[in-house]
Amino acid sequence: MTGVAYKDDKRKKFEDAVSRLEANKSKYSSTDDNENDLSKMSKDDLKLVYKDLSKRKYGFQYKTVPQAHTDFMDKLKKALED
C-alpha cells in the first residue's frame, strides 16, 4: 500500500521489493499469520499498540471498520485489563 503513494522510479523500488519477497518466500518458516499470546507481552508494548491502532481510519479503504481490527482491539483491551 505504501508504494501507491510514490510515482515512477520510487514506486518501482516497492515493486522490486515485493518481487524479491515473493521469489524468496520459500526461505521463510511460514507464510501463515501466527497468533501471539498477548499475555507474554509487556503491558507497555500493548498500550503502545492499542494507542496506535485506536487512531486508525479505514474510510479510504472500507465502508466500515474491518472485523479483524475490531476483534484484535478487543483482545488487546482484554489483555490490558488482565
Query: What are the tens digits of pLDDT across the range 18-59?
Result: 888 888 888 776 666 666 788 888 999 999 999 999 988 887
4, 18, 27, 42, 54 from 21: Cα distances, Å = 18, 5, 9, 30, 30
SS3 63: coil
Torsion of CA 3, 4, 9, 12, to 10 degrees: 50
What's the whole-model pTM score?
Answer: 0.55
What is the spatial distance between Cα 12 and Cα 31, in angstroms, rounded to a whole number?
A: 24
Dihedral angle sign, alpha carbons of residues 74, 76, 80, 82: positive
